[in-house]
């Protein structure tokens, strides 16, 4: 079993406090605050980190599934947009939208889309996020 670790430190109250998140053995360390999470302020936030995990996992899963089907991808670019919405008295992550552009020789758009949909459903982060709406827009690069 693989275990991955991240750490967050928060100082102060919710509105005026500030924090840092760190992972990857120091490869990433970012500041976050109420403003960076709820008001488009400077810094990162948990939702961006979920989006990074989702796009990275999907790109790897799609590349693997394409290779398993006999197609060698030259490049898979994936972006995830995670939605945080006010629901009742709090906030809830409600959706993740994946945008993907891939360069894969000798594959039809239809076959590519079928494999991309399978990757969307089967990548470990999508499975983790299965209680929210996950959408996909994928296309082949010329």
User: Domain residues of the chain, as ranges?
Assistant: 6-38, 46-140
Count Cα atoms within 13 angstroms, Cβ side, for 96: 27
Res 47: pLDDT: 96
Output the pLDDT for position 142.
78
CA gap 74, 67 in Å, rounded = 11
Write down the pLDDT at residue 16: 94
Neighbours of 120 (CB within 10 A): 21
Gap between the Cα atoms of 38 and 33, Å rounded = 8
Please state which CATH number belongs to domain 46-140. 3.30.300.20
How crowded is residue 138: how many other Cβ atoms within 10 Å of its Cβ?
A: 21
- One digit per residue, the tens of pLDDT, for the chain of length 142 reads 989 899 999 999 999 999 999 998 889 999 999 999 999 899 999 999 999 999 999 999 999 999 999 999 999 999 999 999 999 999 999 999 999 999 999 999 999 999 999 999 999 999 999 999 999 999 999 7
The pLDDT value given to residue 25: 86
In angstroms, the CA 102 to CA 64 distance is: 13
Phi and psi for 26 in degrees, rounded to 5?
A: 95, 0
Q: How far apart are CA 46 and CA 6, in angstroms?
A: 11
């Amino acid at each position: 079993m693989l275990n991955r670790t991240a750490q967050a430190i928060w100082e102060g109250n919710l509105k005026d406090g500030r924090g840092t998140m760190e992972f990857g053995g120091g490869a990433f360390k970012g500041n976050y605050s109420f403003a960076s999470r709820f008001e488009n302020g400077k810094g990162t936030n948990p939702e961006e980190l979920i989006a990074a995990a989702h796009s990275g996992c999907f790109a790897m899963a799609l590349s693997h599934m394409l290779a398993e089907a006999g197609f060698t991808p030259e490049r898979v670019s994936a972006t995830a947009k995670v939605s945080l919405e006010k629901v009742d008295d709090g906030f809830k992550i409600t959706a993740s939208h994946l945008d993907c552009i891939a360069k894969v020789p000798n594959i039809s758009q239809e076959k590519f889309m079928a494999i991309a949909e399978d990757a969307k459903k089967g990548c470990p982060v999508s499975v983790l996020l299965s209680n929210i709406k996950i959408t996909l827009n994928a296309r082949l690069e010329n």
